[in-house]
Structure 1
Amino acid sequence: MILAEKMDVGYEKTVVVENVDLRGIKGQLICLLGPNGAGKSTILRTLSGLLAPVSGTVYINGSDLKSIKKPELAKKLAVVLTEQVSLGLLTVFEIAAMGRFPHTNLIGKLSDEDKGIIQEALQAVNAVHLRDRYYAELSDGEKQKVMIARALIQQPELIVLDEPTSHLDVKHKVEVISILRRLCLEKGITVVLSLHDIDLAIKGCETILLIQDGKIAAQGTPEEIIKAGTIQSLYEIEGAQYNELLGSLEFFSRQYPEIFIAGGNGTGAGVYRALSRAGYGMCCGVLHSNDIDIHIGKALGCEIIEEEAFNAIHEDKYHQAREIMKTVDYMIDTGFPVGSINQRNMDLVIEAVKMGKTVFSLFPKEHAFKRYGEWTDKIRYCSKAAEVTKCIEDKKTMERV
């Protein structure tokens, strides 16, 4: 559907991004991802014919973009840019109907077929209920859906969108990407867009081009190119770490451990984040390498004691954890499920009580005796992670007093 080979893009003779290779097949959703100023918009404007390439050629369905007459191009290609347009007191229907211009006669009269196509497009973007509203009255998310509908009404084979989710809330971001994915899958339209939202790009798009330092740093499926450190390097992120496996950004606090957390099976994630926000250093263990908690803990900069997946906790890992536990003031039991391979973590909790450490538990107090036995009354019970943080703060305050 669209092809660019060894293309340099920019303004006049000034190259912004060099050596762009892009191949988009029918029904594919392609995303340009990169920091502000990387050249994503320049590439999109060049692909859509709004800018001439500094060098190289863009082909639409095998034809040189420069050779396609504008009315014919409007039947093949639709463009949705980030700039907010002033459309006065036009209704949604009137704006959407503009998309039929390439298909109508000189006076732009709409046939019954045209009106049916407009209705169908508004249905496709969940905007039929807006058709009689004035454009100026709409929210940003609603306006974006109308612009996509207008593009769809052109009946193009290719749609180019520049930051279609900018300024939208989470609901409308998801809705816009879902609409575009559906257009690709059901109508076979090829979509090329730029995004800032890493999570949407990785989970919603089929092919990603990473734009960095005036060139295409990587190109392929999200699974091929989003590897350890890729996003960190692309956006030069400091003070936080992007976890490629989970598709999440975690703010880390690299403090010396003062709290030991026994977790696992996802029970530790909320605790790690709550304590990290409060500025505490943590040691987390003993966690198996296939446990979701280990990935969140690493992204937060926690010290991790790691055991191989599916193996019972080895004695050397247990003793490593015990030695670190001696140096901290607090132990937290996240209420993790106990089985044969992680029983030693439960032993660590009891050992902390014997050492005289302040031990917090997120396990339900009414069932605690089965878990802790004779040590049940030596443990402080909390219902959520934020409560643990507050208890630690209160205890520290009392100690200072």
Structure 2
Amino acid sequence: MDVGYEKTVVVENVDLRGIKGQLICLLGPNGAGKSTILRTLSGLLAPVSGTVYINGSDLKSIKKPELAKKLAVVLTEQVSLGLLTVFEIAAMGRFPHTNLIGKLSDEDKGIIQEALQAVNAVHLRDRYYAELSDGEKQKVMIARALIQQPELIVLDEPTSHLDVKHKVEVISILRRLCLEKGITVVLSLHDIDLAIKGCETILLIQDGKIAAQGTPEEIIKAGTIQSLYEIEGAQYNELLGSLEFFSRQYPEIFIAGGNGTGAGVYRALSRAGYGMCCGVLHSNDIDIHIGKALGCEIIEEEAFNAIHEDKYHQAREIMKTVDYMIDTGFPVGSINQRNMDLVIEAVKMGKTVFSLFPKEHAFKRYGEWTDKIRYCSKAAEVTKCIEDKKTMERV
């Protein structure tokens, strides 16, 4: 179907097929048409062309009281509900089953209680809705939707304006509803990491059409995200599931790392605007993926191989051109011993060498060169030391 307003198409050829118990996410930049699709699925907007079906029935043919038993909607807009309590608002979800003036039976009250428990909001039931945080309000609105006992819940950006705790909690609640109750959930998100880690199917909305549709593993690639959001100055890493700000600065610092010890150092120095060369890193090391995403120059060795002499000499030649060497405190073994040799070689060259290895155990690592090295306890301290040294050199 085509969706939009009156005769103006916003997104064309929308073909979305939801499976019972599935969590489906729409991803795309602001203005791409995610909300328009959701409003059309909810019956709040008529399709420009085509039809919305729920279990084979045309949405337009379903009477509103019956539709409310099949479909629940949670929109982005904050609603003003005066001095109503959480219980009273949640109870509104029973309207399709009791009618507007119907009394709540013991069964209805039990359903309300169960829904509040499902969203971890039982402790809020007697509080006024207006007093709640945004995250608490969102949980209550999800509970109200659940109380309708629908087959499908549609949510428009349910994690907007929420802190990390409540974002994770909301997605966890929705996943649980899908798995335990077989409810199909269709939502829009801005958080790429939440979409990838929480949703089974993702639709990418771009340039007025569905650019891709499938599982996160099938469609979320580095280039896909950068193209979708027209990102410059950062790179999406599909292995890490995160965006990394990259620098194209010429290397002035050589970092000997590995085994995940370099990640924090790379990010700290990248934030400070430094260009880096990282090596020698094995191709299966997590540090290599972060380094590449940050735009570092990488000297790479094949996984599980001892560092070959050509890689060592390549690293040594680059090291001659930089001002600083950093030892991240990586564990040393037979396959990466040459990285320790690079650290010692840097000391011999007269480079300023920083180490994140504990100073009290440094002699076993550096031997006679122990006192030639500057020791820091964290990455931010290394960055500050480099900045202070550069400032002194300029004076």
Q: In structure 2, the residue corresponding to 1:20 is in which secondary structure? A: coil
Show structure 2 runs of 5+ residues with no match. none
Once the 2 structures are TM-superposed, how far is the Cα of residue 39 of structure 1 from its aligned partner? 0.2
Indicate conservation of the 8 Å contact 2:71/2:151, yes or no: yes
**Stretch deviating more after TM superposition (226-235 or 187-196):** 226-235
Indicate conservation of the 8 Å contact 2:255/2:325, yes or no: yes
Once the 2 structures are TM-superposed, how far is the Cα of residue 228 of structure 1 from its aligned partner? 2.6
Q: Distance in 2 between matches of 1:130 and 1:31?
A: 28
Q: Distance in 2 between matches of 1:176 and 1:343?
A: 47
Indicate conservation of the 8 Å contact 2:222/2:235, yes or no: no
Q: Distance in 2 between matches of 1:169 and 1:20?
A: 32
Show structure 1 runs of 5+ residues with no match. 1-6
Structure 2 residue 130 is the aligned partner of structure 1 residue 136: yes
Structure 2 residue 319 is the aligned partner of structure 1 residue 325: yes
**Equivalent residue in structure 2 for 1:272, among 266, 269, 277:** 266
Once the 2 structures are TM-superposed, how far is the Cα of residue 145 of structure 1 from its aligned partner? 0.5
Once the 2 structures are TM-superposed, how far is the Cα of residue 194 of structure 1 from its aligned partner? 0.3
Once the 2 structures are TM-superposed, how far is the Cα of residue 215 of structure 1 from its aligned partner? 0.6
Q: Distance in 1 between matches of 2:389 and 2:146?
A: 61
Q: Distance in 1 between matches of 2:145 and 2:355?
A: 56
Q: Distance in 2 between matches of 1:358 and 1:257?
A: 15
Corresponding residue of 2:202: 208
1:41-83 CA-partner distances (Å, limit 9, x unpaired) = 0000111111111111111011111111111110000000001
Indicate conservation of the 8 Å contact 2:204/2:210, yes or no: yes
Structure 2 residue 173 is the aligned partner of structure 1 residue 170: no
Structure 2 residue 354 is the aligned partner of structure 1 residue 360: yes
Q: Distance in 1 between matches of 2:144 and 2:99?
A: 18
Q: In structure 1, the residue corresponding to 2:332 is in which secondary structure? A: coil
1:306-343 CA-partner distances (Å, limit 9, x unpaired) = 11111111111111111000000100000001111111
1:259-309 CA-partner distances (Å, limit 9, x unpaired) = 000000000000001111111110001111111001111111111111111
Q: 1:18 to 1:110 in 2, by over 3 A?
A: same
Structure 2 residue 333 is the aligned partner of structure 1 residue 339: yes
1:219-278 CA-partner distances (Å, limit 9, x unpaired) = 111000011311111111111111111011111221100000000000000000111111
**Stretch deviating more after TM superposition (239-248 or 179-188):** 239-248
Q: In structure 2, the residue corresponding to 1:23 is in which secondary structure? A: coil
Q: Distance in 1 between matches of 2:169 and 2:149?
A: 21
Q: Distance in 1 between matches of 2:236 and 2:212?
A: 17
1:359-401 CA-partner distances (Å, limit 9, x unpaired) = 1110111111111111111111111111111111111122122
Q: Distance in 2 between matches of 1:232 and 1:315?
A: 37
Once the 2 structures are TM-superposed, how far is the Cα of residue 108 of structure 1 from its aligned partner? 2.0
Q: Distance in 1 between matches of 2:366 and 2:21?
A: 58
Q: Distance in 2 between matches of 1:393 and 1:220?
A: 47
Q: Distance in 1 between matches of 2:270 and 2:370?
A: 27
1:7-37 CA-partner distances (Å, limit 9, x unpaired) = 1100111100011111111100000000000
CA RMSD between the two structures: 0.8
1:143-190 CA-partner distances (Å, limit 9, x unpaired) = 000100000000001100000000000010011000000000000000
Q: In structure 2, the residue corresponding to 1:270 is in which secondary structure? A: helix
Corresponding residue of 1:249: 243
Q: Distance in 2 between matches of 1:109 and 1:189?
A: 26
Q: In structure 2, the residue corresponding to 1:258 is in which secondary structure? A: strand
Q: 1:313 to 1:63 in 2, by over 3 A?
A: same
Q: Distance in 2 between matches of 1:220 and 1:166?
A: 24
Q: Distance in 2 between matches of 1:290 and 1:23?
A: 38
Indicate conservation of the 8 Å contact 2:263/2:291, yes or no: yes
Indicate conservation of the 8 Å contact 2:253/2:325, yes or no: yes
Q: Distance in 2 between matches of 1:109 and 1:207?
A: 39
Q: Distance in 2 between matches of 1:399 and 1:24?
A: 63
Q: Distance in 2 between matches of 1:174 and 1:325?
A: 43
Q: In structure 2, the residue corresponding to 1:35 is in which secondary structure? A: coil
Indicate conservation of the 8 Å contact 2:354/2:376, yes or no: yes
Q: In structure 1, the residue corresponding to 2:305 is in which secondary structure? A: coil
Q: Distance in 1 between matches of 2:356 and 2:282?
A: 20
Q: Distance in 2 between matches of 1:192 and 1:102?
A: 21
1:113-135 CA-partner distances (Å, limit 9, x unpaired) = 11111111111111111111111
Q: In structure 1, the residue corresponding to 2:316 is in which secondary structure? A: helix
Aligned length: 395
Once the 2 structures are TM-superposed, how far is the Cα of residue 105 of structure 1 from its aligned partner? 4.2
Q: 1:204 to 1:106 in 2, by over 3 A?
A: closer
Q: In structure 2, the residue corresponding to 1:338 is in which secondary structure? A: coil
Q: Distance in 1 between matches of 2:59 and 2:2?
A: 15
Q: Distance in 2 between matches of 1:73 and 1:229?
A: 40
Indicate conservation of the 8 Å contact 2:268/2:379, yes or no: yes
Q: Distance in 2 between matches of 1:264 and 1:106?
A: 64
Once the 2 structures are TM-superposed, how far is the Cα of residue 106 of structure 1 from its aligned partner? 5.5
1:187-217 CA-partner distances (Å, limit 9, x unpaired) = 0000000000111001011110000010111
**Equivalent residue in structure 2 for 1:311, among 302, 305, 313:** 305
Q: Distance in 1 between matches of 2:111 and 2:370?
A: 69
Taking structure 1 as the reference length, what is the TM-score of the superposition?
Answer: 0.97
Alignment of 1:35-184 (within 5 A): 35-105=29-99, 107-184=101-178
Q: In structure 2, the residue corresponding to 1:19 is in which secondary structure? A: coil
